[in-house]
């Protein structure tokens, strides 16, 4: 599970965001955490990528996953 580009769009109060970030940490997957409550342009980027306003939205190598989906994360990470 290396050489993956992972971006987690999250908010501080979202439990599923915490689950997703914990999953990546536990599996030694480096990721960029973007708090969309602090960066309006990144929130707009998230909406453009996913069509969703809810979090978490996870970008794994250009593949968009909405929500905490460890089965999908594993598949996309190889």
Residue-range domains of the chain with CATH: 6-72 (3.40.30.10)
Complete edge-to-edge strand list for the sheet that includes strand 32-35? 32-35, 6-10, 57-60, 63-66
pTM, to two decimals = 0.94
Contacts of 65 (CB under 8 A, 6+ apart): 57, 58, 59, 72, 73, 76
Provide the residue-wise pLDDT of the chain in tens; the chain has 78 residues. 468 999 999 999 999 999 999 999 999 999 999 999 999 999 999 999 999 999 999 999 999 999 999 999 999 998
């Amino acid at each position: 599970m290396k050489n993956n580009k992972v971006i987690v769009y999250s908010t501080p109060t979202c439990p599923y965001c915490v689950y997703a970030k914990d999953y990546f940490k536990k599996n030694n997957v480096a990721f960029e955490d973007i708090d969309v409550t602090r960066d309006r342009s990144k929130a707009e980027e998230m909406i453009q990528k996913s069509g969703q306003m809810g979090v978490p939205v996870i970008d794994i190598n250009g593949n968009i996953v909405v929500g905490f989906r460890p089965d999908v994360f594993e598949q996309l990470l190889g």
